[in-house]
């Protein structure tokens, strides 16, 4: 036997270190350090996790074997040990064997992967249908069967803390950058079909606990499904670069029991209806400005910036712009917010008349803009009717 | 020239990476705006791929291929000249966009529409820079093919060529086949933006996903354009320092060729999440996993070359060994990414970032470092400082792992790529990764010092340089004469063997 004791000891140590590193990364996944993929809360996410672990085990074992041979060689076959180099340069048998073995391994991996993919692809027999639409930078959710539409923006405390040199510790914000003002509420135990699409650029809808992500592409609708088994709040975020606010469009799914879900649907319908008939209210300048400031932060600030200066060459300034200062441009200003222009999205369907009136009043009476103009919800309504 | 240029670009691209890691050091936004961060991510990738790794590969080819096949020089010197001088202008175009209104391109180096169409004034500069770089690379590739097929010395049969030459011939064909596709794709972007076409706009009857298909039909072979020359370099270095012939020369050639051919059939594994039909996803999953076979053959051959050799561990060998281990780790994560249903979780996360940096930094760039140490004595006539070289190796190898290994965990835990700020649960690993990044950046300065010191002087190198080296380049003096072989040498079987 040419196996030396020292070599055996080395190999044992090497495998122990390697194996423990590997175990650390799989079994002892400390929550705070987030070492491994989540097992998730759906049957599919569990399968995906298992497939991930299988392939991780396979490559780790191959890695240990291959690198052990290599390091054995590095330690044994070195010139300083006085060895004479061998002369062999090929061996057809060996080469055929080590072509066939990897081939067999990948076939063994491909079979369960194919089955899993087929299960993921089957969106039939779903009970609830949601359409998720990506905007720069927020998500819109349409409950197709319920006639409910909600918008989901980054939560206000995260917006504040995420400003450059804000001086606010991100730890103080509730789930920093992973919290929204409105969550997507879903019932547990039902098969839910989630369609993804986008209005401007490509986004991707991803909640790791559901086990998949899918691109949201303007002009196309992608079909997906999930069954959430456990109540809870599951967080994710946009996963396809979509411009400046890419890191700031989180996704929050709130899974609740079916009863609670039905109640939520009723409440939301009532709330949305009451929002629509705001057209006849008359509000004071202060009310409009304070409400407008909040609307601005959630919808406008990402492009036009907190100081209203925009970004030169991409996003125009509001501060000092003719559109937001000249009296004769008031109708044009309202029109642009409702219907959008160029890469600016149309806010008409996202915001109520009161929201639009207040944000326009706010922008015309903030920073250097001191027009004194007051826009009322009825002005917005009038513009919509044209 | 190419090599100096690519080293400069390596440091420009590297300083962008330092900005990225500095911003990601802690949660919260400290140094740059999100828009500028995105343009750093975009330009870092373009500079590193087109400015650092590709020109370095072409530079090595220009210098070493004529010497290795017994030719006086490259076949088409004027074309070579033009191919080089296009590049500084192309990068002047690209880098100047960072100072324009609206900033540099910020949609990712993959330039996906519709996002890329929102680029400001930088847009036409981006498109034309990509065009110029493509033209430059195609000319370089034509030159290499012309040289290898016409100027080999008598007796230098195809199956006697050093593997570095073989991998470059195959790479050159990949370049010629794939770059025109990229040129077509970016031209379509240009007309979509300025001339009212709608190739990629659904509103006009186009398809944004079409761009991704075209781009990755170029993009995946591009990965092997970066990696194959590295395979060639490693296949030169390991036999030299193991003092034993390369194991399975013929299977190495066949494996390289099959990787190159397969690389044209796997492009959609970059886009599993766009919503392909299931049959398409299955096809691309199988084809992708298949690439593991020839790649595995290469790794096994390298290890069999070491087996029962008489190894010594100078800096080039150290980098080559690290390449074998770390590139293989990158290959493992690549196999995992190739499994479609699981890729739905991995896709566009830091797991992918870790994967391609293992393949490109500890893969391609480590191989380039190895080649620099390996051939520096030949080029300059002086030995480099071996002690400093070893320090550079250990510093690079350790810091690169501290930099990229934790990114696997970040990706699995759910951190998407290309974000300037992140949730606090990702803070610890990002800090470790950034520290590794800074250490890696600083240790590369040592490399510049070693190279300059070697050029200026040092122990004189013999023609043979390394006692285990075989091949025509080692029969010449160090440094070689201006026209390497003015009289074609006679290549016999014995010259290449041990």
| Minimal-distance CA residue of chain A relative to B331 | A59
Q: How many C-beta neighbours within 10 Å does residue B183 have? A: 18
Q: What is the pLDDT of residues A184-200, one digit of tens each?
A: 999 999 999 999 999 88
pLDDT of residue A27: 43
pLDDT of residue B165: 95
The CA distance from A121 to the nearest CA of chain B, in Å, is 7
Q: Tell me the C-alpha distance between B375 and B126, whole Å.
A: 35
Q: Are B275 and A215 within 8 A, CB to CB?
A: yes
Question: Which of B137, B288, B305, B371 does the annotation list as catalytic?
Answer: B137
The CA distance from A319 to the nearest CA of chain B, in Å, is 18
Q: Quick one: CA torsion of B432, B435, B436, B438, rounded to 10 degrees? A: 160
Chain A contact set for B313 (CB, 8 A): 78
Tokens of B187: 């031209």
Q: 10-residue block means of pLDDT along chain A (386 residues)? A: 47 51 46 74 93 93 94 90 84 90 94 93 90 93 91 90 86 90 93 94 95 93 93 94 92 95 91 68 83 86 84 82 87 88 81 87 88 85 78
SS3 content of chain A, % helix, strand, coil (to 5): 45, 20, 35
Cross-strand partners of A152: A139
Q: Tell me the C-alpha distance between B320 and B452, whole Å.
A: 22
Give A9-15's long-range contacts (Cβ < 8 A, gap of 24+): A10/A71, A10/A75, A11/A68, A11/A71, A11/A72, A14/A67, A14/A68, A14/A71, A15/A64, A15/A68
Tokens of A285: 């300048």
Q: Are B28 and A162 within 8 A, CB to CB?
A: yes
B243 noted as active-site residue: no
B357 noted as active-site residue: no
The CA distance from B193 to the nearest CA of chain A, in Å, is 12
Q: Strand, helix or coil at B2? A: helix
B136 noted as active-site residue: yes
Nearest CB partner across the interface for A106, out of B41, B292, B301: B292
- B153 Cβ contact partners less than 8 Å away, ≥ 6 residues apart: B69, B70, B71, B472, B485, B488, B489, B490, B491
Nearest CB partner across the interface for B275, out of A70, A222, A246: A222
The CA distance from A83 to the nearest CA of chain B, in Å, is 6
Q: Are A52 and B336 within 8 A, CB to CB?
A: yes
Instruction: Show me where the domains of chain A are located.
Output: 5-78, 128-276, 285-385
Return the residue in B35, B273, B297, B330 with the most chain A beta carbons within 10 A, the one to mutate for interface testing: B273
Q: Are B244 and A312 within 8 A, CB to CB?
A: no
Q: Are A51 and B335 within 8 A, CB to CB?
A: no
Question: Which of B44, B131, B152, B470 does the annotation list as catalytic?
Answer: B44
pLDDT of residue A386: 67
Q: Do residues B54 and B90 lie in contact, with contact meaning Cβ atoms separated by under 8 Å? A: no
Count CA within 13 A, CB hemisphere, residue B73.
9
Q: Do residues A269 and A148 lie in contact, with contact meaning Cβ atoms separated by under 8 Å? A: yes
Query: What are residue B21's phi and psi, to 5 degrees?
Result: -70, -30
B109 noted as active-site residue: yes
Q: Tell me the C-alpha distance between A262 and A274, whole Å.
A: 19
Q: What is the pLDDT of residues A48-107, one digit of tens each?
A: 999 999 999 999 999 999 999 999 999 998 888 888 888 888 888 989 999 999 999 999
Q: Are B421 and A162 within 8 A, CB to CB?
A: yes
ipTM field: 0.89
Chain A contact set for B417 (CB, 8 A): 241
CA distance to A309, A310, B323, B463, per residue, from A319 (Å): 6, 9, 55, 71
Closest CA to A53 of A10, A109, A125, A124: A109
The CA distance from A271 to the nearest CA of chain B, in Å, is 31
B220 noted as active-site residue: yes
Q: Tell me the C-alpha distance between A338 and A319, whole Å.
A: 19
Q: Are B336 and A66 within 8 A, CB to CB?
A: no
B73 noted as active-site residue: yes
How many pairs of residues across A and B have Cβ atoms under 8 Å apart? 308
Nearest CB partner across the interface for A55, out of B107, B203, B335: B335
Chain A contact set for B325 (CB, 8 A): 67, 70
pLDDT of residue B436: 94
Chain A contact set for B207 (CB, 8 A): 219-220
Per DSSP, A219 falls in state: T
Tokens of B365: 């760039």
Range of the structural domain that residue B299 is part of: 2-496
The alpha-helical segments, DSSP class H, found in B362-481 are 366-380, 386-413, 427-456
Question: Which of B21, B152, B160, B220 does the annotation list as catalytic?
Answer: B220
Chain A contact set for B29 (CB, 8 A): 162-166
B417 noted as active-site residue: yes
Question: Which of B63, B166, B224, B302 does the annotation list as catalytic?
Answer: B224
Q: Are B345 and A208 within 8 A, CB to CB?
A: yes
Specify the CATH number for the domain of residue B401.
1.20.210.10
Nearest CB partner across the interface for A239, out of B286, B296, B348: B348
Q: Are A245 and B34 within 8 A, CB to CB?
A: yes
B213 noted as active-site residue: no
B270 noted as active-site residue: yes
Query: What are residue A62's phi and psi, to 5 degrees?
Result: -60, -45
Asked whether the CA dihedral B372, B376, B378, B384 is positive or negative, the reply is negative
Domains in chain B, number: 1
Nearest CB partner across the interface for B310, out of A85, A113, A208: A85
| Minimal-distance CA residue of chain A relative to B409 | A35
Query: What are residue B110's phi and psi, to 5 degrees?
Result: -75, -10
Q: Do residues B491 and B153 lie in contact, with contact meaning Cβ atoms separated by under 8 Å? A: yes
- A266 Cβ contact partners less than 8 Å away, ≥ 6 residues apart: none
Nearest CB partner across the interface for B244, out of A70, A86, A217: A86
Chain A contact set for B312 (CB, 8 A): 78-80
Q: Are A77 and B242 within 8 A, CB to CB?
A: yes
Return the residue in A58, A314, A345 with the most chain B beta carbons within 10 A, the one to mutate for interface testing: A314
Q: Are A78 and B313 within 8 A, CB to CB?
A: yes
Nearest CB partner across the interface for A241, out of B335, B414, B418: B418
Specify the CATH class of A128-276 in words: mainly beta
B443 noted as active-site residue: no
Q: Strand, helix or coil at B5? A: helix
Q: Strand, helix or coil at A114? A: helix
* Residue stretches of chain B with pLDDT short of 50: none
Chain A contact set for B311 (CB, 8 A): 73-74, 77-79
The CA distance from B181 to the nearest CA of chain A, in Å, is 22
| CATH of range A285-385; options 1.10.10.200, 1.10.760.10, 2.20.25.650, 3.40.50.1820 | 1.10.760.10
For residue B358, what is the enclosing H or E element?
Answer: helix B350-359
């Amino acid at each position: 036997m040419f196996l030396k004791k020292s070599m055996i000891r080395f190999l044992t140590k090497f495998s122990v270190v390697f194996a423990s590193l590997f175990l650390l990364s799989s079994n002892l996944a400390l929550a705070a350090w987030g070492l491994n993929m989540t097992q998730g809360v759906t049957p599919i996410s569990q399968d995906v996790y298992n497939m991930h672990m299988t392939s991780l085990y396979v490559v780790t074992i191959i890695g240990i074997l291959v690198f052990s041979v290599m390091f054995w060689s590095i330690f044994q076959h070195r010139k300083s040990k006085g060895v004479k180099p061998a002369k062999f340069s090929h061996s057809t048998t060996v080469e055929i064997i080590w072509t066939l073995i990897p081939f067999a391994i990948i076939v063994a991996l491909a079979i369960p992967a194919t089955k899993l993919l087929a299960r993921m692809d089957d969106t039939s027999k779903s009970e609830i249908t949601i359409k998720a639409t990506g905007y720069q930078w927020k998500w819109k959710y349409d409950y197709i069967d319920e006639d409910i539409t909600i918008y989901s923006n980054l939560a206000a405390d995260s917006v504040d803390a995420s400003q450059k040199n804000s001086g606010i510790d991100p730890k103080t914000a509730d789930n920093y950058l992973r919290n929204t003002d409105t969550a997507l509420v879903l019932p547990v135990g039902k098969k839910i079909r989630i369609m993804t699409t986008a209005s401007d650029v490509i986004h991707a809808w991803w909640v790791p606990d559901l086990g998949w992500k899918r691109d949201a592409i303007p002009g196309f609708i992608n079909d997906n499904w999930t069954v959430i088994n456990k109540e809870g709040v599951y967080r994710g975020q946009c996963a396809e670069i979509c411009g400046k606010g890419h890191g700031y469009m989180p996704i929050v799914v709130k899974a609740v029991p079916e009863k609670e879900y039905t109640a939520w649907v009723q409440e939301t319908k009532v709330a949305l209806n009451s929002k629509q008939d705001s057209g006849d209210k008359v509000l004071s300048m202060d009310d409009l400005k304070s409400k407008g400031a909040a609307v601005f932060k959630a919808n406008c600030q990402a492009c036009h910036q907190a100081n209203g200066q925009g970004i030169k060459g991409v996003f125009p300034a509001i501060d000092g712009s003719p559109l937001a200062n000249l009296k004769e441009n008031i109708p044009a200003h309202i029109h642009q917010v409702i219907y959008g222009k160029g890469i600016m999205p149309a806010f008409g369907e996202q915001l109520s008349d009161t929201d639009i009136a207040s944000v326009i009043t706010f922008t015309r009476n903030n920073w250097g803009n001191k027009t004194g103009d007051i826009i009322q919800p009825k002005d917005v309504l009038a513009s919509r009717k044209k | 020239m190419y090599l100096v240029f690519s080293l400069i670009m390596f440091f420009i691209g590297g300083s962008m990476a330092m900005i990225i890691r500095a911003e990601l050091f802690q949660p919260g936004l400290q140094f740059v705006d999100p828009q500028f961060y995105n343009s750093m991510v975009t330009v870092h990738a373009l500079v590193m791929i087109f400015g650092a790794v590709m020109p370095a590969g072409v530079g090595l080819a220009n210098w070493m291929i004529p010497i290795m096949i017994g030719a006086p020089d490259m076949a088409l010197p004027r074309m070579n000249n033009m191919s080089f001088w296009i590049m500084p202008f192309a990068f002047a175009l690209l880098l100047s966009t960072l100072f324009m209104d609206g900033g540099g391109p910020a949609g990712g180096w993959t330039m996906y529409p519709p996002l890329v169409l929102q680029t400001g004034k930088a847009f036409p500069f981006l498109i034309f820079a990509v065009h110029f770089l493509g033209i430059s690379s195609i000319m370089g590739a034509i030159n290499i093919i012309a040289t290898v097929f016409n100027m080999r010395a008598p007796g230098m049969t195809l199956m006697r060529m050093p593997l570095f030459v073989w991998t470059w011939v195959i790479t050159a064909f990949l370049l010629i086949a794939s770059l025109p596709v990229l040129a077509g794709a970016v031209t379509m972007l240009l007309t979509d933006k300025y001339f009212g076409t709608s190739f990629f706009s659904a509103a006009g009857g186009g398809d944004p996903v079409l761009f991704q298909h075209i781009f990755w039909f170029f993009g995946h072979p591009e990965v092997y354009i970066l990696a194959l020359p590295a395979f060639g370099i490693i296949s030169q270095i390991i036999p030299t320092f193991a003092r034993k012939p390369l194991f399975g020369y013929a299977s190495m050639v066949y494996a390289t060729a099959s990787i190159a051919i397969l690389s044209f059939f796997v492009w959609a594994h970059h886009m599993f999440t766009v919503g392909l039909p299931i049959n398409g996803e299955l096809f691309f999953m199988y084809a992708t996993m298949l690439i593991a076979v020839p790649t595995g053959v290469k790794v096994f051959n390298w290890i069999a070359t070491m087996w029962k050799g008489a190894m010594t561990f100078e800096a080039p060998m150290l980098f080559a060994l690290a390449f074998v281990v770390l590139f293989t780790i990158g290959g493992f994560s690549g196999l995992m990414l190739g499994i479609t249903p699981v890729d739905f979780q991995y896709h566009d996360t830091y797991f992918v970032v870790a994967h391609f940096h293992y393949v490109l930094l500890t893969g391609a760039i480590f191989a380039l470092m190895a080649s620099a140490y390996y051939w520096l004595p030949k080029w300059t006539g002086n030995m480099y400082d071996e002690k400093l070289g070893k320090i550079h190796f250990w510093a690079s190898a350790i810091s690169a792992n501290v930099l990229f290994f934790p990114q696997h965990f970040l990706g699995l835990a759910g951190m998407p790529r290309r974000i300037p700020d992140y949730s606090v649960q990702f803070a610890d690993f990002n800090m470790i990764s950034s520290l590794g990044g800074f250490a890696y950046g600083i240790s590369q300065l040592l490399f510049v010092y070693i190279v300059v010191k070697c050029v200026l002087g040092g122990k004189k190198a013999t023609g043979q340089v390394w006692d285990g080296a075989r091949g025509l380049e080692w029969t010449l003096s160090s440094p070689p004469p201006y026209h390497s072989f003015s009289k074609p040498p006679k290549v016999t079987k014995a010259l290449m063997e041990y």
